[in-house]
Amino acid sequence: MNKHLMASIYDIKGEKEKVVKIYRQILSDNPNDKEAEESLRRLATKSINLSGLNRDMYNFFIKANSKEELAEFERWLIGN
């Protein structure tokens, strides 16, 4: 079975630990897998209370496509 499909099934079932393990395995095999990277990022922010959050920067973080964009987000976080 396709690993992305398997992760999606576990995600629907609410088995977050299994989902994270599968996406980490996918990234271990293929560090350039954007779908797995974005899914891990989504999972990491899924349970965060977003009230009062800077929505623009949240969306920027979720949609970041490069290490440079993540570095820009990090600079924003630390105030540089």
> What are the sequence ranges of the domains in the chain?
1-47, 51-80
Predicted TM-score of the model (pTM):
0.58
Q: What is the pLDDT along the chain (80 residues), one digit of tens a residue?
A: 799 999 999 888 888 899 999 999 999 999 999 999 999 888 887 766 667 778 888 888 888 888 898 888 888 888 86
What DSSP assignment string belongs to the chain? --HHHHHHHHHHHT-HHHHHHHHHHHHHH-TT-HHHHHHHHHHHHTTS--TT--HHHHHHHHH--SHHHHHHHHHHHHT-
Q: What's the pLDDT score for residue 47?
A: 64
The contacts of residue 27 (CB under 8 Å, 6+ apart) are: 33, 36, 37, 40
Dmax (CA) for the chain in angstroms is 45
Tokens 């079975």, located at residue: 1
The total number of residues shown for the chain amounts to: 80
pLDDT at site 5: 92
Specify the pLDDT at position 14.
84
